[in-house]
Structure 1
Amino acid sequence: MDTGVVEGGLNVTLTIRLLMHGKEVGSIIGKKGESVKKMREESGARINISEGNCPERIITLAGPTTAIFKAFSMIIEKLEEDISSSMTNSTATSKPPVTLRIVVPASQCGSLIGKGGCKIKEIRESTGAQVQVAGDMLPNSTERAITIAGTPQSIIECVKQICVVMLEVSPPKGVTIPYRPKPSGSPVIFAGGQAYAVQGQHAIPQPDVSEGHSLTKLHQLAMQQSPFPIAPSNQGFQAGLDASAQTGSHELTIPNDLIGCIIGRQGAKINEIRQMSGAQIKIANPVEGSSDRQVTITGSPASISLAEYLINARLSSEATGLAAN
């Protein structure tokens, strides 16, 4: 079987992750799943759609490049059809472009943008598509969204070029934490072993803390130790979310031989944890005669809780031999 066209270096197995709104996903799935079934059969690509009840869903396309781009063009055609049918009852004269978001590891975005934005400019000019790389990472992940708009053909060409750049670059650095859309689209805070979703100014208890995380005993113990004030919903929840209010600090003791997996190569891992949690994290210098290092986390209770969770996730993955340094 042909494993893909050798087109600009694309002759390998690929995975593309698309971030879509629930309504668009519904259209791609089709009645009783007929539409997505047809796409799977005709393209030969594996098409996986993340769980429902979310404002956003992730569609993962995997397989040889020929299959991927066949599935990808079928998805774009469907979105184009939806735009056309919505135009029939509209008074608008110009047709809006097809807009699509793909999700990529943040560590690969630099190569995609290029020095002074030269690479992204080249992609825009050669494909005619509008391309925008998000400045911030998606919540609780190390991925960024890239928004592409234009004609179906320009979008397909643009994604091909993005894939070539990402295949030429070395693999993503460190462990990639994939973006998982939350049912409420809201941050989750852990307190006393219970997870709470933050919606507006309220904390809503979540029945299942393990969704997408597989919380180990280590994580749960850390959560139980993190004091987090949950205000009655009518009083609001702003204090816990406002980084300037209620700043506190929390100390952890980490064995010397494990501190490296928290810091990462040239501090990459600790910086990632700082960025994702919004907390300040200071690692004390080694103390003579001690086999442990003191780590101080400062910030709002929400950011301390998240930083602690991420540190413990690193420690437990290191303990099971999964962490990449």
Structure 2
Amino acid sequence: MEPTKVQSEGGLNVTLTIRLLMHGKKGETVKKMREESSARINISEGNCPERIVTITGPTDAIFKAFAMIAYKFEEDIINSMSNSQATSKPPVTLRLVVPASQCGSLIGKGGSKIKEMRESTGAQVQVAGDMLPNSTERAVTISGTPDAIIQCVKQICVVMLESPPKGATIPYRPKPAAAPVIFSGAQTYTIQGQYAIPHPDLTKLHQLAMQQTPFTSLGQTTPAFPGVDASSQASTHELTIPNDLIGCIIGRQGTKINEIRQMSGAQIKIANAMEGSSDRQITITGTPANISLAQYLINAR
């Protein structure tokens, strides 16, 4: 089905939202794109290496925005090539985020639709087999020349308009970059690139954790990499938490408990609820510093 046909049936006033995954900060570019494409373009906040760019508007505004993005990416590739020895120009690659319930229609019966897209546009199109973490969305990667990408996006839009998502979609949210953490003395540093940068929030937690537990001497003399320093052997600590509070510690789909695991560097196991008991057992394993930080973070929750 040719995209032009959809437009001639008044498809232009259909509002569609397309989500894209991007890396890095592209704020200035986006401002210009908003003005020139008249699509609504939003960028997810947060200190994540990945950002979600949401483009909403009539189909023609979306195509315009995508054209600008594809050409901008090509420009970036050309600029980076002028500084390198590379001879062949890599293709422009965009990653769309599409509700899994629509991916079947994009692939088509026995892969017929996606094959047709590849052949008619000359772009490479791949639908990820797995959903993105904690979501019901999949990544659809398109690569090729800017023109091939624009043609491909047009066809994807047509499919998305013809088969809307079924059921509720849990949108993908990129995770913040988990930088390695070093405890040294009473300071906490995160590693960014080649530098250790003092991390005030974690330092505060670390100091509080130090005060709250008998492990004050730990890490005062040696920089303790969590779990690496030989003087701080792994040990185990058990906590009992009332059942009705366990939810706020685990968080939605385990997000909170995973954060606590990452920040503290400790292993945390939550026992299943025992019959007749109103409490849950939490077992924390790690160095004393990891454990004290994990305990503090759990209590703080």
TM-score class, shorter-chain normalisation, is 0.5 to 0.7
Q: Please say if 1:13 is aligned against 2:15.
A: yes
Partner SS, residue 155 of structure 1: helix
Q: Aligned AA for 2:171?
A: P
Identify which of 22, 29, 40 aligns with 2:27.
29
Contact in 1 for aligned 2:125/2:140 (Cα 8 Å):
yes
Partner SS, residue 135 of structure 2: coil
State, as a whole percentage, how many aligned pairs show the same letter. 68
Q: Please say if 1:232 is aligned against 2:286.
A: yes
Contact in 2 for aligned 1:134/1:144 (Cα 8 Å):
yes
Structure whose CA Rg is larger: 2
Q: Aligned AA for 1:229?
A: T
Return the alpha-carbon distance in structure 2 between the equivalents of residues 104 and 82 of structure 1. 25
Structure 1's consecutive aligned runs of 4 or more residues displaced over 6 angstroms after TM superposition are 234-237
Unpaired runs of 5+ in structure 2?
A: 180-244, 250-255, 265-277, 292-301
Return the alpha-carbon distance in structure 2 between the equivalents of residues 44 and 128 of structure 1. 28
Partner SS, residue 140 of structure 1: coil
Residue in 2 aligned with 1:203?
262
Structure 1 residue 204, shift from structure 2 partner: 2.0
Residue in 2 aligned with 1:178?
171
Return the alpha-carbon distance in structure 2 between the equivalents of residues 8 and 42 of structure 1. 23
For each residue in 1:142-181, what CA deviation from the matched residue of structure 2 results, as whole angstroms up to 9, or x when unmatched?
0000000000000010011011111111x21111000011
Give me the TM-score of the superposition, normalised by structure 1.
Answer: 0.57
Residue in 2 aligned with 1:161?
155
Structure 1 residue 196, shift from structure 2 partner: 3.1
Q: Aligned AA for 1:19?
A: L
Q: Aligned AA for 1:87?
A: M
Residue in 2 aligned with 1:276?
none
Return the alpha-carbon distance in structure 2 between the equivalents of residues 233 and 100 of structure 1. 42
Partner SS, residue 204 of structure 1: helix
Bigger mean CA deviation after superposition, 65-74 or 4-13: 4-13
For each residue in 1:51-98, what CA deviation from the matched residue of structure 2 results, as whole angstroms up to 9, or x when unmatched?
131021100000111111111111111111110000001111100000
Partner SS, residue 166 of structure 1: helix
Unpaired runs of 5+ in structure 1?
A: 206-223, 238-325
Residue in 2 aligned with 1:99?
93
Contact in 2 for aligned 1:103/1:146 (Cα 8 Å):
yes
Provide the aligned length of Structure 1 versus Structure 2: 203
Return the alpha-carbon distance in structure 1 between the equivalents of residues 122 and 130 of structure 2. 25
For each residue in 1:26-47, what CA deviation from the matched residue of structure 2 results, as whole angstroms up to 9, or x when unmatched?
2x323xxxx2221111111110
Return the alpha-carbon distance in structure 2 between the equivalents of residues 82 and 70 of structure 1. 18
Identify which of 59, 69, 72 aligns with 1:75.
69
After superposition, residues 195-274 of structure 1 pair within 5 angstroms as: 195-197=256-258, 202-204=261-263, 227-232=281-286
Give me the TM-score of the superposition, normalised by structure 2.
Answer: 0.61
Residue in 1 aligned with 2:199?
none
Return the alpha-carbon distance in structure 2 between the equivalents of residues 57 and 13 of structure 1. 22
Structure 1 residue 7, shift from structure 2 partner: 2.9
Residue in 1 aligned with 2:229?
none
- 1:163–1:185: structure 2 CA closer, same or farther, 3 Å change rule? farther
Return the alpha-carbon distance in structure 2 between the equivalents of residues 72 and 64 of structure 1. 13
Return the alpha-carbon distance in structure 1 between the equivalents of residues 90 and 51 of structure 2. 22
After superposition, residues 303-314 of structure 1 pair within 5 angstroms as: none
- 1:172–1:192: structure 2 CA closer, same or farther, 3 Å change rule? closer
Return the alpha-carbon distance in structure 1 between the equivalents of residues 287 and 176 of structure 2. 19
Contact in 2 for aligned 1:100/1:149 (Cα 8 Å):
yes
Contact in 2 for aligned 1:191/1:227 (Cα 8 Å):
no
Return the alpha-carbon distance in structure 2 between the equivalents of residues 101 and 51 of structure 1. 18
